[in-house]
């Protein structure tokens, strides 16, 4: 289990760059990959770009605070979130947990406490997520390795652009369930694109061209007319 945690990606969100750097150095020393953001909206974009395994989220930020970021994240993701709160701010800790945070760390904290909390939350997630592996064999033709960001079709590596990858990732993680246009737009492009459904249709077409044998008769990415799209429930194939 400990080795499996080594390559996990952590998104660190803190408007104090010195604090973000302190956290980054300690996490990287322990084998994690780290992505940094210094503003709330930047954090949401970095989340969509990097699809981290855990988010360390400071409460106090200049544009939108950590609670708003957490609420927006929870609309699109179940990624584990650890809130960074000021000493003595019990209301902040309670509010964060009620909004869906998995844990909190009170500033100031030691490197050892930071790493142990991150590891503990990741272990809980790994233990409880056996139904959603990183390596997925949809059928004899299509294989997905989300840990390496690799898609294989009939033994050949398929090259996807970042947006195509994010779209496929969210479709597959919700296999069997319909994702509406609004849900796809907010998860892949961001809230500001919610009135742009043509983006979804365009990139669904791109994906079908790359992973479907016959893009005009798709078997993986299915259209739910007037609603959105659904990835085939591969567990029932």
pTM: 0.68
Residue 50 has pLDDT above 70, yes or no: yes
DSSP state of 14: -
Domain enclosing residue 220, as ranges: 135-236
Residues 159 and 229 both lie in one domain? yes
Residue 19 has pLDDT above 90, yes or no: yes
The pLDDT-based confidence of 136 (bands split at 50, 70, 90) is very high
Residues 28 and 91 both lie in one domain? yes
Burial of 164 (0-12, 13-18, 19+ CB in 10 A): buried
Residues 143 and 212 both lie in one domain? yes
pLDDT digits (tens, 9 = 90+) for 58-74: 999 888 999 999 999 98
Last residue of a domain, one of 89, 111, 128: 128
The pLDDT-based confidence of 205 (bands split at 50, 70, 90) is very high
Which residue shows structure tokens 């949401």?
44
Instruction: Say which residue, 231 or 146, is predicted with more confidence.
Output: 231
Residues 16 and 90 both lie in one domain? yes
Instruction: Please state whether the peptide bond connecting residue 108 to the residue before it is cis, i.e. omega within 30 degrees of 0.
Output: yes
Residues 97 and 161 both lie in one domain? no
Residue 185 has pLDDT above 80, yes or no: yes
Q: Average pLDDT of 164-180?
A: 92
Residues 178 and 114 both lie in one domain? no
Residues 82 and 104 both lie in one domain? yes
Residues 43 and 104 both lie in one domain? yes
Indicate the number of domains in the chain: 2
Enumerate the H helices of the chain as residue ranges.
2-5, 17-29, 40-50, 66-76, 90-98, 111-128, 162-173, 181-188, 197-211
Residues 103 and 41 both lie in one domain? yes
What is the distance between the alpha carbons of residues 4 and 63, in angstroms, rounded to a whole number?
35
Residues 123 and 176 both lie in one domain? no
Last residue of a domain, one of 128, 159, 180: 128
What is the predicted pLDDT for the residue at 45?
Answer: 93
What is the predicted pLDDT for the residue at 71?
Answer: 93
pLDDT digits (tens, 9 = 90+) for 190-203: 776 777 888 899 99
What is the predicted pLDDT for the residue at 133?
Answer: 58
Residues 124 and 141 both lie in one domain? no
Residue 179 has pLDDT above 90, yes or no: yes
Residues 142 and 121 both lie in one domain? no
CATH number of the domain residue 141 falls in: 1.10.10.10
What is the predicted pLDDT for the residue at 131?
Answer: 47
């Amino acid at each position: 289990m400990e080795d499996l945690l080594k390559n996990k990606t952590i998104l660190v969100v803190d408007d104090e760059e010195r604090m973000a750097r302190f956290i980054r150095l300690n996490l990287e020393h322990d084998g994690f990959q780290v992505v940094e953001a210094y503003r709330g909206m930047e954090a949401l974009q970095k989340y969509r770009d990097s699809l981290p395994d855990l988010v360390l989220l400071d409460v106090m930020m200049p544009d939108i605070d950590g609670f708003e970021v957490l609420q927006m994240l929870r609309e699109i993701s179940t990624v584990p979130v650890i809130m960074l709160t000021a000493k003595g701010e019990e209301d902040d800790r309670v509010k964060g947990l009620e909004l869906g945070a998995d844990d909190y760390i009170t500033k100031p904290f030691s490197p050892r406490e930071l790493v142990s909390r991150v590891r503990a939350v990741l272990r809980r997630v790994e233990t409880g997520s056996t139904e959603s592996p990183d390596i997925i064999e949809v059928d004899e033709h299509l294989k997905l390795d989300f840990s390496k960001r690799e898609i294989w079709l009939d033994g050949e590596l398929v090259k996807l652009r970042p947006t195509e990858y994010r779209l496929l990732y969210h479709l597959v993680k919700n296999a069997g369930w319909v994702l509406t246009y609004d849900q796809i737009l907010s998860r892949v492009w961001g809230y500001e694109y919610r009135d742009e459904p043509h983006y979804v249709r365009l990139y669904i077409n791109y994906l079908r061209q790359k992973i479907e044998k016959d893009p005009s008769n798709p078997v993986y990415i299915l259209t739910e007319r007037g609603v959105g799209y659904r990835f085939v429930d591969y567990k029932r194939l």
